[in-house]
Amino acid sequence: MECLRNGQMAIYCSSELTSGLKLYSVMEGEAVGSLKDLKGKRGDEWCDKNIFNVNKDEANRFAASVREGRKDSVPVITPAPFDVRGWDQAEYLAFWEELIRTRVAAVHFRDKWEYSNGCTFEYAVALDAKIDRFDQQGRRLEADKAISCVRNAIDEIAKMKGNFDTAKLKKHLGWIEASGGPVVTTTKIPTPTPKSKITV
């Protein structure tokens, strides 16, 4: 990452990947209440093809559009291609939190970010770190607007057919409502071992 940045502060593009509106919509259509249940019904390969790979493609396109819209050489980062075998969600979030806090000048959020556990976490981190935040159209995404978006997302999920767990969205909303209150992660970024597979 240091080689890619070449000393510059980067732009980070936040998009739904392993959670979000697409996942909730599919779970509702499949009449299941959790990702675990969905994988049990459809299998990992089906979920990768119909949800996660679709999200990754859309995240990459979003980052490309942000990159193409700039007239400078500032690096634009998307988490979509980054895969470390053996890491869990907490470890990924710890890694991206460290990167946002120390190497990012602004975060751009793709439409529907407010339904994603990861995106809402990244918004809370960027707010706490006093980093500029923008929506997909390039407009400033201030805390009051973000709070309204996440509240509406939680309400919409509650109306869906399925008892979906929104505890993480509610926790991240609480951090955002604190308007820069401390975001504390307890997971340390692990050091990949030679057995780990890292794909960037």
pLDDT computed for residue 162 by the predictor: 84
Helix 21-29 × helix 35-42 angle, to 10°: 60
H helices of the chain, in order, are 2-5, 21-29, 35-42, 44-47, 53-68, 89-103, 117-128, 143-159, 167-177
pLDDT computed for residue 21 by the predictor: 96
**Residue 123 and residue 13: Cα distance in Å, rounded?**
11
**Residue 54 and residue 17: Cα distance in Å, rounded?**
9
pLDDT computed for residue 120 by the predictor: 97
Q: Are 122 and 95 in contact (CB under 8 A)?
A: no
In which band, very low, low, confident or very high, does the pLDDT at 197 lie, cut at 50, 70 and 90? very low
CA atoms within 13 A on the CB side of 194: 0
Token couple for 68:
């193409």
**Residue 51 and residue 47: Cα distance in Å, rounded?**
5
Give pTM, 2 decimals: 0.87
- What is the number of other CB atoms lying within 10 angstroms of the CB of residue 43? 11
- The domain segmentation of the chain, as residue ranges, is 2-199
Confidence check: pLDDT of 135 > 80:
yes
Averaged pLDDT score across all residues of the chain: 88
SS3 180: coil
Residues comprising the chain, all counted: 200
pLDDT higher at 178 or 196? 178
Burial 119-152 (b: 16+ CB within 10 A, else e): bbbbbbbbbbeebebbbbeeeebebeebbebbbe
Token couple for 94:
């710890």
**What pLDDT digit, counting tens, does each position of 9-53 carry?**
899 999 999 999 999 999 999 999 999 999 999 999 999 999 999
